[in-house]
Amino acid sequence: MRKGISERTKIGVIFSTPYFVFAIVFFLIPLVWAVWLSTMDWNLMAIEKTWVGLGNYLSAFTSERVQAAFLNTFKYMAVLIPGVTIFATGIAVLLHNLPQSIKGVYSVSFFIPYLTSGVAVSVVVRYFFSYSSVFNTFLRDQLNVDVRWFQDPTPAFFIITGIIIWKISGYYALIILAALESIPKEIHDAAAVDGATGVQGFFRITLPMIVSSYSTVIVLLAGLIFGIFSEPFLLTGGGPNLATTSWYLELYTTSFVKFDSGMGAAIAILNAIQIFITIRLITYVLNKIDYNAR
């Protein structure tokens, strides 16, 4: 005899329906439309649309700007992942060892840069490193050093990465701090009784116990790196020589400056493919490290 739908199943369907509707409206339909748009030569405004098949993808593969965005993503990762991880760990360890009465206040102070507008920070930094700024004038007059901060690829790249490290380290420090706080005090006491120093205790006991939190930090950070936009857009425009450009910057330039929306959609699809493959590789490596640390 066939049983009817249980009350538990009905409740599950009711609560999961908004999520499915949200996913269909804001993810599935735009994804299908973006795939269709990537096969068209269309600027979203003209009446005529021309089907070009894989033409936009072939153009993207041979585009110097898209190739630079692809490679720059890994350059940003090579600097930002270790940089943010080290700074966030330092902040978390500092906060972990503070008295409980002031720990909350200091935690909030390190989190504030994350809430600061990237546009506002970029404007201040642009003024600070401008040719006529007090800082540059001092370097030229007193030290005879003339650095073109935004005309030279190396300083321009490291200024942008420095801003991002300063801005987001406090946020990821809170994740690591939560992992540090979850380690029972008795474990540290037992290590001290066995003669472990502070550094030995951190690398041999604390670090292996919070590896999973680093997996979270690195995966979230990798996803954020693919979305870099405000800093290179406002400071360098992706230059000099495309040294600081990013996927989102190329998406914006192609779709809303050149009004080549079909090509922009193709770039977005390629960006999504790189994100998927990169995150899968990072997750695989981190899971291996986490498994070996246990």
Residue 38 falls inside a structural domain: no
Q: What is the DSSP string of the chain?
A: -PPPPPHHHHHHHHHHHHHHHHHIIIIIHHHHHHHHHTTEE--SSSS--EE-TTHHHHHHHH-HHHHHHHHHHHHHHHHHHHHHHHHHHHHHHHHHTS-HHHHHHHHHHHHHHHHS-HHHHHHHHHHHTSTTSHHHHHHHHHH-----TTTSHHHHHHHHHHHHHHHHHHHHHHHHHHHHHTS-HHHHHHHHHTT--HHHHIIIIIHHHTHHHHHHHHHHHHHHHTT--HHHHHHTTT-STTTT--HHHHHHIIIIIS--HHHHHHHHHHHHHHHHHHHHHHHHHHHHHHHHH-
Residue 227 falls inside a structural domain: yes
Residue 26 falls inside a structural domain: no
Residue 41 falls inside a structural domain: no
Rounded Cα gap, residues 75 and 69, in angstroms: 10
Residues facing residue 241 across a β-bridge: none
Find out whether 245 and 228 touch, Cβ atoms under 8 Å.
no
What is residue 293's predicted lDDT score, i.e. its pLDDT?
Answer: 65
What is residue 3's predicted lDDT score, i.e. its pLDDT?
Answer: 60
CATH number of the domain where residue 286 is located? 1.10.3720.10
| Total domains, the chain | 1
Six-digit token string for 151: 């005309």
What is residue 269's predicted lDDT score, i.e. its pLDDT?
Answer: 93
Find out whether 160 and 247 touch, Cβ atoms under 8 Å.
no
Domain that holds residue 246: 58-293
What is residue 86's predicted lDDT score, i.e. its pLDDT?
Answer: 93
Rounded Cα gap, residues 207 and 178, in angstroms: 13
Residue 29 falls inside a structural domain: no
How do strand 40-41 and strand 50-51 relate by DSSP bridges? Answer: antiparallel
Q: Which residues of the chain have pLDDT under 50?
A: 1
Residue 111 falls inside a structural domain: yes
Residue 72 falls inside a structural domain: yes
pTM: 0.84
Residue 140 falls inside a structural domain: yes
Rounded Cα gap, residues 49 and 281, in angstroms: 38
